[in-house]
Amino acid sequence: MSLVKLDGKRFPWNESLIDFFNRDAFVDDDFFNLEKTHPSMNVKEHKDDFEIEFAAPGFEKKDFEITMKDDVLEVSAQKSKEETEEDENFTRREFNYNAFTRTLQLPTSVDRSKDVKAVYENGILKLKVLKMEEAKEDHKKVIEVV
């Protein structure tokens, strides 16, 4: 028995599904790109601040670098670990390197004069970015339909 390249025409009832999975745009999606290691992120907007959460298990507090310049917030982390185990005729050496960088464009409502608060707990990095006083006020305008 030999391996045969799958041809979409062999299964005409699935032809549209196979074409869908053969699209470059679908395969180039970040979901399938294993070279990118961006942690998952949640952003919540509250009245007084923005809360940003990153799922970054396996890091320590000292591994993170968080910078804010102008209207850009950059969160990065880097960790490397190397283990060596030697026995009579056997040497085992393992190393692990893990890093990521996420860059976020901050909205104009962020108060850049205030410090960003960062807490890392149970594999979740939480950032709190405060809003300016003017942004906290509700500038709701009612528009009349004519």
Hey, where are the domains in the chain?
A: 38-134
DSSP β-bridge partners for residue 68? 73
* Structure confidence at residue 16 as a pLDDT band (50, 70, 90): very low
CA angle 88, 91, 92 (to 5 degrees): 140
Tokens 């906290």 appear where? 136
Fold of 38-134: Immunoglobulin-like (2.60.40)
The pair of structure tokens assigned to 102 is: 């996420």
pLDDT (tens digit per residue) in 79-121: 887 777 777 776 776 777 888 999 999 888 888 888 889 999 9
Region of 15 (left: φ > 0; alpha: ψ -120 to 50; beta: rest) is: alpha
Do 18 and 24 form a contact (C-beta atoms < 8 A)? no
- Residue 39: per-residue pLDDT: 87
Q: Are 74 and 103 in contact (CB under 8 A)?
A: yes
Does pTM surpass 0.85? Answer: no
